[in-house]
Each structure stands twice: as structure tokens, then as C-alpha cells.
Amino acid sequence: MDGALLVDLLVVVTLLTAVLSGWARGLGRTVGALAGAVGGALLALAVVVPWAEERLGPQTSPTLLVVVAGILCVVTGAALGTALGGLLHRALTRIRLGWLDAAGGALAGAVITAVIWVLVAALVPVVGSATVTDSVSSSRALAALTRVVPDELQDRTALARALERSQPWLAEVAGSPSQPPSIPAVDVDSAALQSSSASVVRVSGDARACRSVVTGSGFVVAPDRVMTNAHVVAGVDAPVVRAPGELPVTGRVVYVDERQDLAVVATDGLDAPALSLRTGARSGDVAVVAGYPHGVRQLQLEAAQVVGQRSTIVTTDGQSRLRRVLTLASDIEQGNSGGPVLGSDGHVIGVVFAKAVAVDRVAYAVPAAVAAPVVERAPGMTEAVPTGSCTAA
């Protein structure tokens, strides 16, 4: 059976089952079970997992701790919530409002199940499986649910962040500011920036050699072609790409330039327009860094200002090279790597690749002039290439 069709059937069956179960259980017990399960999960992540890590030591797998503690706490919380919700069910039944309890339970069951499915779709990049990603991205039922459920509810869960790491990249750049620069206010809600934001994607993948799922950012440069950093996809065979408001799609790396820290990912079915590059950014120009810090699901726009552009010595991961660098005043985080620096007109003036080692609010980007030749050739890049070795996070 086709994977997408199987996902569609699972979504429909679970939604119908949730409606029938909610009708039978009633609003009180349905909501009570959910509240108890959520409370149990929060307890596991906030208390039980840190306690277990402290007692058992670093040799124990954090993933195993999260899963085992999460299951125990969720099941216990759901059982307690169901018991408490039963009190409301019995009270409504006594005053002959059992039908209201049943109808509310059916509605709550459908809503809860829909949200869970959307969160499952959002967690697909953590799995790092091309087969699973393709099935989920082609599901019509999940696409419909994703459009209905608000982005705020689809954001990365604490469980996902416990299992996933953003790829860090720190750099020492000769001639950079020695003191944290100020960052001017920027209207991130302008029409130009909002339009360009639709083409800024989240890139993630399974770096098996480092036993981790890594995340970064990227942007569309041609139909089904995404530019990001080479270090974001290092060691990743099948990167997962997700545009705002869309389901994730699996790609393949078709270009890697470790010296300039640039890479191109080819995808199939990525529904986002290409962004244009603009060279010649000058000191004092206001800009925005667009990306997904810490691997969050919802796109973040951070104000920035160009400090300067020059050829200088860049040291990353113990290696020093002469490179052309766009220096920025901006407060970026892990996960912003590979994202675009957008000028006030919405055009790309650089590709973020690092933040300063010792000075706050200093970031570095590959200038648009360096990335432009790669962007021009991107549509013709079709064959997968080696991605190198991953960098342990």
C-alpha cells in the first residue's frame, strides 16, 4: 500500500475512533485524560529526566530516559485525569445532561487527535527517515489538518528538543568588533520581509556518525533547490526540508563547498518561491536574519545591521582560511546557520554561517556575491554528492 494512503487511512480511522470514544467517555474523562497525560509529560521532562540523568550518569542514553520516563508519567497522569474527569461525567448524568457531556467528549476527542497528528507531522524531521517523511509530506489528510491548526500549537515540543540538537558553529574572525554592537529596531512585519519569509526553510537530518539529529536553516534559490551551510548537512544523507505552513519533504545534497561553507539541497515538491540575491551590502544597512534558532518549528526574524564586509582570516573548528565575510550586529543562536540575511527590500544579502566566539551580538555571513555563482548553477545540480563528516554538537 502507498505510504501516503496509509497515513491518510490512519488519520481518518483515528479521528473517527476519537469521536466515538469521546462520545462514550464524555467530556470530563476525555479532557481529564489529556490534561493528566500532558501533566505527566511535563513532570517527566522537568523533574524525572534531570533527576535520572544526575543519578545514573552520562553513560545512560538520554533518549532512553526521555522515552521510559515519559511513558510512565504520561500513563499515570492519564489514569488520574480520567478518574477525576469521571466526577464531571457522573454529575452531568444525574441532572440529565449526559448528552451534553457526550457531545463535548466527541468534539474534544476530534480536536485532541487532530492536534496530536499535526505534532506527529512536525516531529518527522527528528526521525530522519526519508520513507516516513515522504509518506507524511504526501498525505492529503495531514496537509488539511496542518492548515487548520495554528502554528503556535505546531511548534517544537520539549520532547523533540530533548531528542534533537541544533548544529553549533562558532568562529573567530580577524578584525571583528571587540565589544557587543547595538542592534537597531527593524520593521520585521514589512510586506517585503513577510513575502520573503515564505521561502525560508528549516533543514534537519540524521547525522548517524555523531548519533544525533541536527538542525539548521536554509532558503529557496530555485524551484526545488535550497541553499544552506555545508556544516548543517555534514554527515547527513537525506536532509529533511520544511517551508512555513507546509509539510516536510526529503531532499538530497547536490552541492557542497566546505571552504565557503555552502551547500545546495535538491527536493521534490517543495512549494515555495525562489529568493533573489542582492550584492553590495554596506556598513550601516539594516537587515533581518531569518531562520529557526534551536530548531524551533516557527520561523523567527531577528533584527540585524551590517557592520562591514571584507576579506579576512576566519577560524572555525580549528581551521583558518582567508574568506570574504559579511559581519553583522545580530543576536543569532544555534539553528540559524544556513539562513538568509534579508535586506529591507526582502532580497538575500548573505548566508549566515557562524556567530562570534567571545563577543555577544556579532554574527557572520557568506556575502551574496560569493553565493551568487552557486545559485546560478543550482537548477542544474541533480546528482547527490558526499556530505563529509558531521561535527559533534
Dump pLDDT digits (tens) for 100-114. 878 887 887 788 778
| Domain locations in the chain as residue ranges | 3-154, 170-185+276-371, 193-274+376-380
Q: Evaluate if residue 93 carries a pLDDT over 90.
A: no
What does the pLDDT average to over 159-163? 45
Q: How far is CA 156 from the centre of its chain?
A: 7
Average pLDDT, the chain: 82
pLDDT of residue 11: 85
How many CA atoms lie within 13 Å of 232's alpha carbon, on the beta-carbon side? Answer: 40
Euclidean distance between CA atoms 166 and 21, whole angstroms? 39
Least confident of 32-36, 40-44, 173-177: 40-44
Task: Return the CATH fold of 170-185+276-371.
Answer: Thrombin, subunit H (2.40.10)
What does the pLDDT average to over 353-358? 92
Pick the CATH number of 193-274+376-380 from 2.40.10.120, 2.40.10.10, 1.10.10.10, 3.40.50.10490: 2.40.10.10
Q: Evaluate if residue 47 carries a pLDDT over 70.
A: yes
| Same topology between domain 170-185+276-371 and domain 193-274+376-380 | yes
Angle between the N-to-C axes of helices 98-127 and 3-43, in degrees from 0 to 180, rounded to the nearest 10 = 100
Least confident of 28-32, 290-294, 305-309: 28-32
Cα–Cα distances (Å) from 47 to 82, 96, 167, 386, in that order, read 23, 42, 26, 41
pTM of the model: 0.67
Q: Evaluate if residue 155 carries a pLDDT over 90.
A: no
Query: Per the structure block, which three cell numbers stand in for 39?
Result: 501533566
